[in-house]
Amino acid sequence: MRGRSVFRRRAFTLIELLVVIAIIGLLMALLLPAIQRVREASNRMRCGSNLSQIALACHSLHNDFNIFPTAGIWWDWPFVYRNGIPTAPPHQNKSFLYQILPYVEQQQVWRLGPGQEGNVIGTVIPIYYCPSRRKPAGGPPVSNWGQANWIDIGTGQSGSTVVPQWKPGKNDYANPAAYETITIGGVSVRTYPEVWWAWERTPIIVFGGWGSHTNPANRTDWQQHLEYSVSLDGGVKDGTSNTMLVAEKFLRPRCYDGNCWYDNEGYCGGWDNDTGPLVAYPSDSNWWGTRCRPGQDSDDTNREPCEANRFGSAHPGSFNCVMADRTVRRVRSSIDINVLASMVHRFDGLTFNWQQVE
């Protein structure tokens, strides 16, 4: 009996189990931040890849039409067709993200004609989402308040598609614009003061589209003026490596899965808070001033009302942008707003150091 008891297995005590659990918990606490950093680095790279693909699509459109996509005109201006086929810029009122659909393997969505606007707006385009922020998915259902208007400049027909509700496809990237006077190294440049709504002409992706009349003879000077676009043939005087094309936009975390007022129309809205412009506004004397500085996503209410036009991201301390030469840059949130405005302005002539940016 005594011999058999020598080989009897001894059980763990409660104290030993608690010690093991404590060690495992400590290891998890040490490893979790490292895992999160690796995950964020991976997400940031995927985000940069999305921007690179968007830039490639913009250049592919430029190769076909010798102009870049435009930012469109307002969120409720109509989809523009010619004999049932969507028009190219500068005769398209919807956003640059809509205009480049054929170049991001979404031609079947882009070709949907009058009456299918709800399906277009409700389509989720995965590369329009930053993985650090949210998964590709439509927002909560919204009603139609003008997004599905359309006009066919070939047939002269127009209308508004009846769409009771849809889940808008979202986007985390938008076009920028530079405002007011930019000052770097004691040299100041005003943002194109000689034209109507000057700041709309400063970026590469500019405000532009088709007026409300199908007959050009009946259109006003203001409507003709909207047909504006930018080409590489002299349109980007500062050079493609020094001029921003598209960037990440700020969004409140509580809006990620919701429909905040500046993230509720979907990716098609032309020159709208959903798709841009993101504001580089150097003047702090205006209410846009300091509250429009770039920043990480936050529910801080001190940023209202400019939160709808801020550069920003879910990445800590910086946001991604893509330059016109397709180079993806990491821009710190504390960047001098004048330098940011100079990055956006395509012909201000000012120079900046990349150490001021990244």
State pLDDT tens for residues 129-170: 999 999 999 888 887 777 888 999 889 898 888 777 778 999
Q: What is the mean pLDDT of residues 123-133?
A: 95
**CA 236 to chain centroid:** 21
- Cα separation, 281 vs 330, in Å, equals 19
pLDDT in tens, 241-289: 999 999 999 999 999 998 888 898 899 998 888 998 998 887 655 545 5
Domain count, the chain: 1
Whether 5 maps to a domain, the answer reads no
Confidence of residue 176 (pLDDT cuts 50, 70, 90): very high
The model's pTM is: 0.86
- Cα separation, 334 vs 293, in Å, equals 8
What is the CA angle 337-342-343, rounded to 5?
Answer: 95
Please report the pLDDT score of residue 19 as a whole number. 85
- Cα separation, 229 vs 209, in Å, equals 9
Arithmetic mean of pLDDT over the chain: 85
Please report the pLDDT score of residue 192 as a whole number. 65
Whether 16 maps to a domain, the answer reads no
Please report the pLDDT score of residue 179 as a whole number. 82
Whether 77 maps to a domain, the answer reads yes
**CA 67 to chain centroid:** 20
- Cα separation, 133 vs 256, in Å, equals 7
CA neighbor of 160 nearest in space, from 123, 225, 115, 205: 115
Give the three-class secondary structure for 21.
helix
pLDDT in tens, 300-346: 765 555 788 899 999 999 999 999 999 999 999 999 999 999 999 99
Within 10 A of 136 (CB to CB), how many other CB atoms are there? 14
- Cα separation, 356 vs 353, in Å, equals 5
Domain extent, residue 227, equals 42-356
Amino acid at 321: C
Whether 310 maps to a domain, the answer reads yes
